[in-house]
Structure formats: C-alpha cells, structure tokens
Amino acid sequence: MALTEYEKKILEQMEASLREEDPALASQMSAPAPDDKGSARRAPRRLATGIAGAFLGMVVLVVAVSLGYSVLSIVIGVAGFALTVAGILYALARPSRRGSAAADGAASRKKSGRGGWDSFIQDQERRWDDRKGDD
C-alpha cells in the first residue's frame, strides 16, 4: 500500500526531528543491515575437508579396534575419535568474518553498557519522563 503525500511529509519531518535530537541513533538506523544470507552458507571446501577428516578418523578408529586390546590400540582409538569429532566440528563451524575487529569493538561496547539495546531503552525512558514532566 502506497503512502499518501501527507504521510510522506510527516515521515520526512519525523526523520529530520530524529536526526536533530539523536544523530548517533539516526546514523545507526540508516546504516545498511549486515548481509546474513551470505554468511549462512558454508564453504564447500571447508565442508569437504571436515567430512574427509571425519572419515579418516573413523578409519583410524576401525584400525584401532582391529588391533585388539592393547595400550597402543586404545591410544589410536582415542586419536581416531578425536579426529572424527574435530572433522565434524570443522565442517559445521562457520568461518570467522574478516571484519572481526569491528565486531569485537561493538561487543566490548555492549558489554561495558555504553551503547546497545540497554542504553537505547534507558534513553527512551528518560525522554518519556522528560515529556511527562513538561505537560
């Protein structure tokens, strides 16, 4: 459903008011959303490597079982199991993003309480209280 000219005008006024009152929030809201669709796919090479590692770990595990009951077979069996689990985890894990430094900075800001959802809510509550006091 398209907006009327009046509605468009009101929205533009609201946007201008927001930019004047809180430029940081306005810039954060106007920034493009991160592209999560591209990161949802797993790399085929990573998946193939993980599956190959898991398969190799199972082969090592079968070899360890076929050796009989000895300390060597137990050690080889544990190594085969660890290789299988590591291969599966590697195949299923998502690769780290290249912009991890920026993500670390944002995460530390959220943990320290400066920024993020909590400060946004506190700021809105303060503004609401201020408006109620003006009436």
Mean pLDDT score, 116-123:
80
**Where would I find the H helices in 22-92?**
23-30, 36-40, 44-66, 71-92
Confidence of residue 33 (pLDDT cuts 50, 70, 90): low
Examine the pLDDT at 89 and tell me if it is beyond 60: yes
Mean pLDDT estimate for the chain: 79
Any idea which residue has 């609201």 for tokens? 14
Range with lowest mean pLDDT among 7-21, 40-54, 88-102? 88-102
**Contact predicate 58/80, CB 8 Å:** yes
Q: Which residue has the higher pLDDT, 81 or 112?
A: 81
Q: Which residue has the higher pLDDT, 108 or 76?
A: 76
Sign of CA dihedral 48, 49, 52, 57: negative
Mean pLDDT score, 113-121:
70
So what's the pLDDT on residue 86?
94
Count of Cβ atoms closer than 10 Å to residue 46 Cβ: 15
Tokens of 43: 């790399």
